[in-house]
Structure 1
Amino acid sequence: MNLSTTPRSPITHLRHVAIAVPDYEPAVEFNRGVWGLSPVADDRDVSFFAAEASSEQYILRVRRAAEKRLDLIAFGAENAAAVDALAERLIAAAVRIDREPGKLDTPGGGYGFRFFDPEGRLIEVSSDVERRAARALEPRESIPRKLSHVVINSTDILNTKAFYEQHLGFRLSDWLEDHMCFMRTRIDHHILAISSGPHVALNHISFEMRGIDEYMRGSGRLIRHGNKPLWGPGRHGAGDNTFTYFMDPNGNVVEYTTELEKIHDDETWVPRRFEATPEAADQWGTGGLITDAMIPAMFNEPDNGLWTPSPL
């Protein structure tokens, strides 16, 4: 039983990630083809992708744009009252609001608002989004089960971490040395991680598979289609999850993972510090230390959408 006296975060889970890309058609084909997501809506310039086993309306949104950017990160809240209360707190703290609480016009509707974090990323928090019919994945069905987590690059990791803790109720799970922190709001070890980088950018988006066998089969499918892993297969120390990282057609890093660690008792959990050793980077020893290909890929290009509202 969780006996923590710390107020519970209003954030329940990671709902979806939205990106804008110049090479739109290859991105659409990659996600609905080899990556294994299901298209649920599109209007020529934007596509929404769901995971078959997730009741979220969509977990990834891809928009056609002249420049590559992270459009927004969307989190879920328990109800409209939680959305309103969070918006009031952020307004009182002089956080820049993009859209005040109201009805959403994206697939599934719902009630939510948008604001900018201290480095200019657009964040959405919503509730009452219509649930999508989901199904259990079959053994050996190697497509994503759900959205696992998102990692962002920050030029001021301590300030960014403090914002998510103080304003959104995130809690620290672990550190990787002093250059990456893993943040949670419920039992998943992290739904957000913040990595120190040379510029503000998207680091990677991670998708959870049904199990180890499905994770390996999915990784193999990507390899057979000519997508060489940037790093992996392997198993991390922090989070205890498996990893295989690939690059999508627009140079964003995406990950297959499974078996992310669960933290059931906030009161007794003590954040750990992992060193960048071969054993901590990859417990299995199959992927080894982070590769020369992964380092520049995860830094990504500077985000061109900071402090700019998304057009939808």
Structure 2
Amino acid sequence: MLRYQRLARVDLNVTNLDRSREFYEEIVGLTPMGLNADGSASFLCGTDDCVVVLHESAVPGYRSLALSLEDESAFDELGARLSEHHIAWDEVSTEECNAHSLVRAWRIAEPNTGAAFEFCLPRGIAVSRTFKPTVARIQRIGHVVFCTPRRAEAVTFMQNVLGFATSDDIDGVITLMRPPPNPYHHGVGVGLGSRDGLHHVNFMVSAIDDIGVAINRFKRADVPIVFGPGRHPASESVFLYFLDPDGLTLEYSFGMEEFPEVSPREPRLLPPVPESIDGWGGIRDPRMSATGLVQPYRAGSGWQAWVEGAA
């Protein structure tokens, strides 16, 4: 089995870096780590050493997701899986690894969405700063969810090649998966959509009060709330979805089912009805998940070509 530790980093494209830096610090509650050599801005996200990196780009959306592997031997298993399915990968440069406190990292393109996935081995201490809770007691990046017209194909790739375990499936709508043995109900999801895009990024918070306080904070700051508060029956999470300045969808959630490594329950197939999404009967704002494209990555094309493609 390909063994993961956690979601380590998510990189997002935003159209106005200064505006988004202020929003992610003051409204979302991330701890700024400063500007990077490439002009991007990094933020510490919770007590699990998760990092969010914002890059200025003409098109807002998803840039990449990094998952930390359990140990060096996991690269052998990953390489065998990628080779078997004829998936090319790039060795991330020493310079970039040093910038993110990594021992080693590989990057691939998910073949159905073009989404960049990075697999990394962090150094002993991934970051040199401590997360300082301000407006929300964030624990970690909970999950990243994509939307694509090739939902079934993307799910098959993530299951068969990346080794993700399906926790639940809302029939024909969305599949929720976890990178084992990470216990949380889902770390990656793939929903059906008309484009290859970012559905949302989730931040897990420490208490339901973080969600209640956020509702009033968002109202005072004119931040659109596009779904919730509600409860997802699949994961048991209490949720609140809101928009960043570019219209990208973010989520706070509290509570989530955790799977044991040994003898976990079987995945469930839930009916494609609103009650499978929200047990509290909420109605989604049509702006939810309407903005945010995947910046496509092509292994072997070179890092610089990919970066320039976002300009």
Sort the Cα spacing of 1:266 and 1:229 in 2 relative to 1 into closer, same or farther, 3 A: farther
Matched, 1:149 2:140: no
1:176 to 170, 180, 189: 170
1:200-238 Cα distance to aligned partner (Å, 9 max, x none): 011100001111112221232222211131011111111
Matched, 1:67 2:59: yes
Asked if the contact 1:235/1:282 (under 8 Å) is kept, the reply is yes
- Counterpart of 2:289 in structure 1 is 298
Matched, 1:192 2:185: no
- Counterpart of 1:231 in structure 2 is 227
Structure 2 residues without counterparts, runs of 5 or longer? none
Q: Separation in 2 of the partners of 1:75 and 1:84?
A: 16
One-letter amino acid of the counterpart of residue 131, structure 1:
A
1:86 to 71, 78, 97: 78
Q: Separation in 1 of the partners of 2:43 and 2:132?
A: 17
Asked if the contact 1:54/1:134 (under 8 Å) is kept, the reply is no
Between the two proteins, the alignment pairs up a number of residues equal to: 297
Structure 1 residues without counterparts, runs of 5 or longer? 1-6
Sort the Cα spacing of 1:133 and 1:23 in 2 relative to 1 into closer, same or farther, 3 A: closer
What is the SS of the residue equivalent to 2:32? strand
Sort the Cα spacing of 1:221 and 1:231 in 2 relative to 1 into closer, same or farther, 3 A: same
TM-score, normalisation: structure 2:
0.86
Q: Separation in 2 of the partners of 1:52 and 1:133?
A: 13
TM-score, normalisation: structure 1:
0.86
Matched, 1:19 2:19: no
Matched, 1:246 2:208: no
Matched, 1:40 2:33: yes
1:218 to 205, 211, 214: 214
Percent identity between the aligned chains?
23
Asked if the contact 2:89/2:107 (under 8 Å) is kept, the reply is yes
One-letter amino acid of the counterpart of residue 286, structure 2:
A
What is the SS of the residue equivalent to 2:28? coil
Mean Cα deviation higher: 124-133 or 29-38: 124-133
Mean Cα deviation higher: 191-200 or 207-216: 207-216
One-letter amino acid of the counterpart of residue 158, structure 1:
A
- Counterpart of 1:4 in structure 2 is none
Q: CA deviation at 1:306?
A: 4.4
1:33-63 Cα distance to aligned partner (Å, 9 max, x none): 111000113148200111242234x2x1101
Asked if the contact 1:153/1:195 (under 8 Å) is kept, the reply is yes
Q: Separation in 1 of the partners of 2:81 and 2:290?
A: 32
Q: Separation in 2 of the partners of 1:183 and 1:80?
A: 23
Q: Separation in 2 of the partners of 1:278 and 1:93?
A: 36
Matched, 1:280 2:276: yes
Asked if the contact 1:112/1:127 (under 8 Å) is kept, the reply is yes
Asked if the contact 1:51/1:145 (under 8 Å) is kept, the reply is yes
Mean Cα deviation higher: 210-219 or 118-127: 210-219
Q: Separation in 1 of the partners of 2:22 and 2:187?
A: 26
Q: Separation in 2 of the partners of 1:299 and 1:167?
A: 29
Asked if the contact 2:60/2:291 (under 8 Å) is kept, the reply is no
One-letter amino acid of the counterpart of residue 171, structure 2:
E
One-letter amino acid of the counterpart of residue 45, structure 2:
A
Q: CA deviation at 1:301?
A: 4.4
Q: CA deviation at 1:300?
A: 2.6
